[in-house]
Chains A and B, each alone.
Chain A
Amino acid sequence: MARSEQKSLFTPDLILPACADAVRKLHPAALIRNPVMFTTATVALLLTLLLLVGHDALAVGFKLQLVVWLWLTVLFGTFAEALAEGRGKAQAASLRAAKAELTAKRLKGGGPDHETVAASALKLGDMVLVQTGDLIPADGEVVAGVASVNEAAITGESAPVIREAGGDRSAVTAGTRVISDEIQVRVTVNPGQGFIDRMIALVEGAERQKTPNEIALTLLLVGLTIIFLIAVATIPGFASYAGGGIPVAILAALLITLIPTTIAALLSAIGIAGMDRLVRFNVLAKSGRAVEAAGDIDTLLLDKTGTITIGDRQATEFRPVGGTMPAALAEAALLASLTDETPEGRSILLLAREQFTQLPDSLPSDAEVIPFTAQTRISGVRIGDMVIQKGAVDSILRANPALEGDPVTQDLRRITDEIARAGGTPLAVAKDGKLLGAIFLKDIVKAGIRERFGELRAMGIRTVMITGDNPLTAASIAAEAGVDDFLAQATPEDKLALIRKEQEGGRLVAMCGDGTNDAPALAQADVGVAMNTGTQAAREAGNMVDLDSDPTKLIEIVGLGKQLLMTRGALTTFSVANDIAKYFAIIPAMFVALYPGLGVLNVMGLSTPESAILSAIIFNALIIPLLVPLALRGVTYRPIGAGPLLARNLAIYGLGGLVSPFIGIKIIDLAVSGLGLA
């Protein structure tokens, strides 16, 4: 799998621009997107003004330190976002560089003449010529010709792929290079809307829209901020009853430590990093919503071929009928397959040579190959008067109507049913209109796939295998691979109907596909991953594109979606749990002058009230950069059930969030009082 190198989080080339961006993001218009950080900045501004003009009992040095740490809290938040964006930008920069100097040979009036224009001048519907050595200037569809294309620029895979007009391999991506032949491409996007453009926009965060879940979480954070604002704003009234006053700076410090600044500061960084992880995994999501939906998937529709089984079937057995000698069947099968270059054909040769000796090496010179056609669905060879046919059982019987009713046919039917039940595909072999027997082509289930499905089941995800095979074969492979269900003899309509049925039952469905006939199902699915090798229609319909065209990745995509949501939840829990320790730091410091007895609430034994307040504020600020690596890398995801996962994360982030500030604030207090800062 062409996963990009994990870049270190804190390299100077990322940190320095992020620092500059962090300051730029202090602009109110940018800050208002994050209400909690906006509140923090407002309070910091207020205290700055009070520092300059206000009079109260507090030492100026103490207030100055408070102001500095409050501004740092805001800056750490904007820095986290800037760093996440910076990482995305670095990822996208190489793509953009490749794209910047692209030129195009635009065909004039569809004719043979062409003019050279900048790629950015291309519009939807333009026709361009791409010749050997050229970079493809824009996303499009091959309308004429066939070429091999190196797509390493976007996939990291250096082996060239074939792109040709018509069929399921007609889509080409801007920035990839044609290494042989030439093709005519119809541009299918307007400037700035290609995949690369979308990818750049998403990872850079410039056009990032909040996802539904992020909006809900932001609302919760706003709600908590309001609740704590009420709690703090009413304190002066209470204090006045007790015959005292509380300086504004102290109230501000309490407010900022209580409102969920930690998660608010990291929220957008988590979202950007989640998209970025997907991109590093060579999957482009068209929206953040799609990534979130991936975590919610209940049902995975997986194509059998290429995902569950290795793409090619292997011949494993010759099953003669009607008294035919096995060697005779093997020889006929071998002759019919000598010119068959498909992996299946080659596996027949291999099996025949393995089991029998003295088989011919090549066809006699008078042999005439009967090519496979979509109409007959039979291939074979004619040697003199002898005709050998090889094909699906029904096709052979259709080609030889005389066989109908023959007892040998009954025999063959029985054998082919057996083969199907065992998860194989039978190929019938006939010689001069007489059935010789069947070849057992076996689907090979990928190693380790059964365990993967077991993991998915533990995560509560149902797997459904989609196959064109008949139900008997499908059932057998399904059992061997350990999928929960299967859809046999599936047509695109069946697929669409299945997705709708699952969705009506309240389940979210993910699937992948590449053909134009997959497009409706890709569009209907909650997560539709189109293969990059697929048609333009498929790539447009899906909400993700896998650049490696590896359908197995659907499973990892679900994991990445879950990781994104988990990281948000873990840091929210951590942030909220922190509040208890902060109360115990600030409340006694705040009220000890009113009622000296309240000093016993100072369970951490913080040295002075000023040091306690300062330590809480410093902890509150420093925890943000300390958690940046976690926010960017994401919480470790393990494919275990929700119960154990919750227990584990509650222990780490809930309990950890409860305990760690007690320790952290105490250590900071020792440093603050030791250095004589307060």
Chain B
Amino acid sequence: MTIQGWTLILLFVAMVLMLAKPVGLWLFALYEGRRTPLHALLGPVERGFYRLSGIDPTQEQGWRRYAVHMLIFNAVLLLATYGLLRLQGVLPLNPQGFGAVSEPLAFNTAISFAANTNWQGYAGESTMSNLSQMLALTIHNFLSAATGIALAFALFRGFARRSATGIGNFWADMTRVTLYLLLPLSVVLALFYIASGVPQTLAGSVDVTTLEGARQTIALGPVASQEAIKMLGTNGGGFFNANSAHPFENPTALTNLAQMLSIFLIGAGLTYTFGKAVGNVRQGWAILAAMMTLFLIGVTITYWQEAAGNPILHGLGVAGGNMEGKELRFGIAASALFSVVTTAASCGAVNAMHDSFTAIGGMIPLFNMQLGEVVIGGVGAGIYGFLLFAILAVFVAGLMVGRTPEYVGKKIEAREVKLAVLAIAILPLIILGFTAVASVLPAGLAGPLNKGPHGFSEILYAFTSAVANNGSAFAGLSANTPFYNGMLGVAMWIGRFFIIVPMLAIAGGLAAKRHTPETAGSFPTTGPLWTGLLIGIVLVVGGLTFLPSLALGPIADHLAMVRGQLF
């Protein structure tokens, strides 16, 4: 580990903490439906949308209505995407003349982008037409991100409102978040990427003759615009197969930092928005503190392991840290940091191949996802997932102060506990269940590239990434098979929407409750004690379940490496 490496990591953390408040305040304006400076310009567009679609943005929806509208919206988009991918061969903007995407892959990809996962069972530059990239995929990058933020708003309203029936209007939330946050920020970021050398063109690939005289095809396309929202919306689906390790997606150290920051930007900001919404910003800071502590622990372990390298290779005379699968432009620290950022938030973009990390270095990204993507997490999804853990933490420990547990003034009772447990149990059920199935079926066993515990890690990583809606790949796994496309598609859908529905039910129930004023006898949900408790609950309830699988995967892998055992 180097001073420069740690400087980068700490600089990154400081910038995230600094940006949380301004972004949170901007989000709070959208949450409240207040005017922003952008309204002068975009206000007519927003009103035009409402008029065209006949939506009254002031009409409150109960949680069921909110959930149904959200589900229908996502289902329609999903079907449209599937259709577009199947028909891309006959549609325009297909300069390379790609044919239809196969049925299992189209199914998998459509769910993947709708569920904000962006698992890619294909190489973008050799599969997707420009129309598919822009209309089928990039549109999801915006709308699945906006859906996440809208859902977080709905849950915030549950906590903030008193004796209310509504939790907001889904269409108004979607429109405002997309129009006043995601679009403008994406434009700015896209221009920055273009200035840094990222291509933005509708032309097809370019054939060049290299210095050696060989002919090479260089893929181009509307990369910068997709890159901006890919990070901002924690989508992670790259234009190119190599994702952010590709020099056209992530050309410089500066774009690398900007990409990492934009992954955390909205997720961190939402913690502040939550604090504002419930009337005490310290509530938000306590959550961000817990998230960033978990994050720093992860970065430290990964960076330490990657910098330490592989003793077996050391024995072969290859000194230094583990550089396999890493870009020389970024090096160990920036790659380790990026990998933890992208898996802490459910982004899934990569600038190095996680499969090539040391066993423990690669376990941290895996573990981050297994916690349920709550360390910053996906935009919106991170904070609502974390609040589910907060509900459990309050319930378990809150009794210890001798009162019915309360969180930000709402009593946590049987209904909340039941729904929170239901939502949280989905994750281990699907991750472990599907991994177990894939570990015994021949179709599943055909996937992994490596033998031994590392091969198991590849399967485990794939299902974890899918259910947690991360979308990063461990590589090594041949996932573009009907078995994996199907299983992973189902896993992504369940991982996204089976958590959302109980979460919205909690929001609806909480909104209807009375507010209990905070007193000296109330359970304190600010301050270091609470932050520590949150970390403990996330690790014990969210993490312990996965210990057996980790023991048989990365931990066994690591111990074998230490003993010099190869498979």
Interface residues of A, Cβ cutoff 8 Å to B: 212-213, 215-217, 219-220, 222-224, 226-228, 230-242, 292, 295-296, 298, 457-462, 505-507, 561-563, 565-566, 568-570, 572-573, 576-577, 579-580, 583, 587-588, 590-591, 594-595, 597-598, 600-601, 637, 641-643, 645-647, 649-650, 653-654
* A residues near B433, Cβ cutoff 8 Å: 230, 234
Interface class of chain B by DSSP: helix
B397 at the binding interface (Cβ < 8 Å): yes
Contact residues in B for A570 (Cβ distance below 8 Å)? 399-400
CA of A662 to CA of B435, assembled, Å? 31
Least CB separation from A595: chain B residue: B556
Q: Report which B residues bind A (CB closer than 8 A).
A: 162, 392, 395-404, 409, 412-414, 417-418, 421-422, 424-425, 428-429, 432-433, 435-437, 439-440, 445, 453, 455-456, 459, 514-517, 519-524, 527, 529, 533, 536, 540-541, 544-549, 551-552, 555-556, 559-560, 562-563, 565
Q: Is the CB of B396 within 8 A of A573?
A: yes
Alpha-carbon gap, A531 to B392, bound state (A)? 39
Is the Cβ of A595 less than 8 Å from the Cβ of B547? Answer: no
Give bound CA distance, A461 to B439, whole Å. 57
* Max chain A Cβ within 10 angstroms of own Cβ: one of B428, B547, B552: B552
Residue pair A242, B522 in contact (C-beta under 8 Å): no
Contact A230 B545 (CB under 8 A): yes
Contacts of A569 in B (CB 8 A): 396-402
Residue pairs across A and B with Cβ atoms less than 8 A apart, 12 shown, are A219-B421, A223-B421, A228-B545, A234-B435, A295-B403, A459-B521, A460-B520, A561-B402, A587-B548, A587-B551, A642-B401, A654-B536
Determine if B533 and A650 form an interchain contact, defined as CB atoms under 8 angstroms apart: yes
Q: How far is the CA of A295 from the CA of B404 in the complex (A)?
A: 8
Residue of B nearest to A210 (CB): B414
How far is A237 from B517 in the complex, measured between Cα atoms in Å? 50
Q: How far is the CB of B385 from chain A (nearest CB, A)?
A: 15
State whether A579 and B520 are in contact (beta carbons under 8 Å apart), knowing that A215-B414, A231-B428, A562-B403 are contacts in the complex: no
Give the chain B neighbours of A568 by CB distance below 8 A. 399
CB within 8 Å for A566 and B413 given contacts A234-B549, A241-B552, A579-B544: no
Report whether A646 and B524 are in contact in the complex, using a CB–CB cutoff of 8 Å.
yes
Give bound CA distance, A590 to B439, whole Å: 18
CB distance from A559 to the nearest CB of B (A): 8
> Given the complex of chains A and B, what is the CA–CA distance between A600 and B395 in angstroms?
35
CB of A216 within 8 A of CB of B440, answer: no
Name the residue of chain B whose CB is nearest to the CB of A591.
B551
A238 contacts B439, C-beta separation under 8 Å: yes
Other than the known A220-B417, A580-B544, what 15 A-B pairs have Cβ atoms closer than 8 Å?
Answer: A212-B404, A213-B413, A224-B421, A230-B429, A231-B545, A242-B453, A295-B404, A460-B521, A562-B401, A565-B404, A594-B556, A600-B559, A642-B523, A643-B527, A650-B397
Contact check: which of A226, A457, A572 meets B399 at CB < 8 Å?
A572
Contact A595 B552 (CB under 8 A): yes
By the criterion CB–CB under 8 Å, are A241 and B403 in contact? no
A597 and B563 form a contact (CB under 8 A)? yes
CB distance from B439 to the nearest CB of A (A): 4
Provide the residues of chain B in CB contact with A237, threshold 8 Å. 435-437, 439-440
| Chain A residues, CB < 8 A from B521 | 298, 459-461, 641-642
| Structural contact, A224 and B541, CB atoms closer than 8 A | yes
Q: Point out the residues of chain B lying under 8 angstroms from A587, CB to CB.
A: 547-548, 551
B545 touches A646 (CB 8 A): no
Please give me the residue from chain B that is nearest to A588 by CB atom.
B551
Residue with the highest number of chain B CB atoms closer than 10 Å, among A223, A573, A601: A223
Q: Which residue of B lies closest to A508 (CB)?
A: B516
Q: For B429, list chain A residues within 8 Å (CB).
A: 230
Interfacial chain A residues near B514, Cβ < 8 Å: 506
Interface core residue of A223, A234, A572 (most chain B CB under 10 Å): A234
Q: Determine if B516 and A241 form an interchain contact, defined as CB atoms under 8 angstroms apart.
A: no
> Could you tell me if A650 and B400 are in contact, using CB atoms closer than 8 angstroms?
yes
Contacts A506-B515, A597-B562, A647-B529 given; indicate if A591 touches B413 (C-beta within 8 A).
Answer: no
In whole angstroms, how far apart are the Cα atoms of A465 and B141 in the complex? 61
In the bound complex, CA of A594 to CA of B396 (Å): 36
Chain A residues within 8 Å of B397, by CB: 569, 573, 646, 650, 654
The distance from the CB of B527 to the nearest CB of chain A, in whole angstroms, is 7
Q: How far is the CA of A459 from the CA of B562 in the complex (A)?
A: 54
